Amino acid sequence: MTAKMDTVSYENLIHREKVHGSLYTDPAIFQAEMETIFHNGWVFVGHTSEVPKAGDFSRRQIGKQPVLITRDRDNNVNLLLNRCTHRGNLLCNRTNGNASTFTCPYHGWSFGVDGEMRGMPMLQAMGEGFDKAELGLAHVPRVGIHRGFIFASLASEGESFEEYLGDAKVLLDRSADLSPEGEVDLSAGWLKHRFKANWKMLPENNTDGYHVGSTHSSMLMATGSANSGAFNDEMGDPSVIRDWGGGHTELDFAPRYRMSGRPFQWFGGTRKSKLPKYMAAMEAAYGKEETEERVLAGPPHAIIFPNLFLAELNITYFYPVSTNEVIQYYTPLLLKGAPEVNKRAMRQTEGAMGPGSFLLPEDASMAERNQLGLEALTPEWMDLRRGLHREHIDEENGLLTSSVSDETTNRAFWSHYLTMMSKASSRAGSGC
Ligand code: FES
Ligand SMILES: [Fe+2]
């Protein structure tokens, strides 16, 4: 089934207990998602630690649109459209680096890292009264930064950054609060995986606790936790899933870690004595009691809608390519002021997310198989009713919560998706 943006009735395709398979395969829906979610909503773009010095830049995309994160001489972080203002050439094709200016290779116009036009060959032909200031690079209209995480919206109006992030900002805090300096560092470089699946399978999978025992059984066996009851609520795993609103979702392992009473379970069960400098720095910064809680609970495992995955010791984002293709990027979550942790985190990322690893290839191959399975058009619907009868509002935080293997997070994703897409669809249909 394919349809034009203004003829799709998302209410008919998305129900609380099931979603329609065409949501992953219809090119018109993909186009509408790019426009509504990626070009008009808020998305994650990068982190300020990727551009620490004046002149640093990092090349990214917002949906399909190429952008540059730059730091200028006044220490401002800019988000610039990566498009020459002369005839539209891609201004910079390097992944990252340091530059005083960007010079377009086509006719040689040059721009500062702040976006201002610096000059062009044979300026006289532009005529009298020409003002270079008119032809500076376009800035992304709205940028929001929380704990160094950079988000952007290409729409100049709409939901504010604070409204978009909502209460889920505490998830970003939970990552940064593991650093004695209160800051994460995402400058280690990004592993890149391109695979044949619809982008929505990533946020759906990332906070799905149900698949772990099956998809990642080889990892559970290799780490000796196959019979531990982890990820199995029937065997007593007290981990929970949460709907933070706005499509942000969480799979929180902290209850299991707290039950074990042992710190650093999220870090392979490392003993405190192996990280003496880290523990001393944390205690100096936050006190003994608060440090104990932080190293017990660990970093978050959560999605910030639509494209940021706080994957405990990794950070992930992705670019949708088409209905059945996506590019995913991973980097280790490094903590400022914590070299003992960082050295090990790098190795852990290689083992979990690299090409010869367990976790990421397993998830990617499931996503590709999912996409292939959806080529069969019968049955039309995908079932999402798991745990519907037992999800509940957690009185402590007011969030919809359920057991680790339930599909509350998937339902939360689709509920927000439906809100965004049906609003856009009704605007398009009304001719506004
Ligand atoms: S397109 Fe960039 S200078 Fe002409
Ligand atoms: Fe997984």
182's tokens: 């209160």
Does pLDDT of 23 surpass 80?
A: yes
Give pLDDT, residue 3: 53
Tell me the C-alpha distance between 298 and 340, whole Å: 16
What is the pLDDT averaged over residues 238-255?
A: 97
110 lines ligand 1 (CB under 6 A): no
CATH class of the region 166-421: alpha beta
Q: What is the pLDDT of residue 431?
A: 44
What is the predicted pLDDT for the residue at 1? 47
pLDDT averaged over the chain?
94
Residue 432 pLDDT: 40
Class of domain 44-146: mainly beta
Distance 58 CA to ligand 1 centre (A): 21
In this structure, what are the phi and psi dihedrals at residue 186, rounded to the nearest 5 degrees? -110, 40
pTM for the full model? 0.96
**Domain ranges in the chain?**
44-146, 166-421
Structure tokens given for 272: 């405190």
Examine the pLDDT at 88 and tell me if it is beyond 80: yes
- With tokens 């982890």, the residue in question is 230
Give the model confidence (pLDDT) of 353-376 as tens digits: 887 788 888 999 999 999 999 999
H helices of 332-407, where?
A: 339-353, 359-373
Query: Does ligand 1 come within 6 angstroms of the Cβ of 109?
Result: yes
Pocket test for ligand 1, best of 82, 86, 91, 93 (most atoms within 8 A of CB): 86
Q: Tens digit of pLDDT for each residue in 44-74?
A: 999 999 999 999 999 999 999 999 999 999 9
Residue scoring higher pLDDT (268 or 411): 411
Tell me the C-alpha distance between 12 and 315, whole Å: 34
| Contact 274 CB / ligand 1 (< 6 Å) | no
Ligand 1 centre to CA of 106 (Å) is 5
**289 CB burial (10 A radius; 0-12, 13-18, 19+):** exposed
Residue 143: closest CA among 250, 51, 54 = 51
H or E, element range at 332: strand 325-332
Locate the ligand 1 atom nearest the alpha carbon of residue 120 and give its number: 3
Closest ligand by atom to 213 CA? 2
Evaluate whether 44-146 and 166-421 have a shared fold.
no
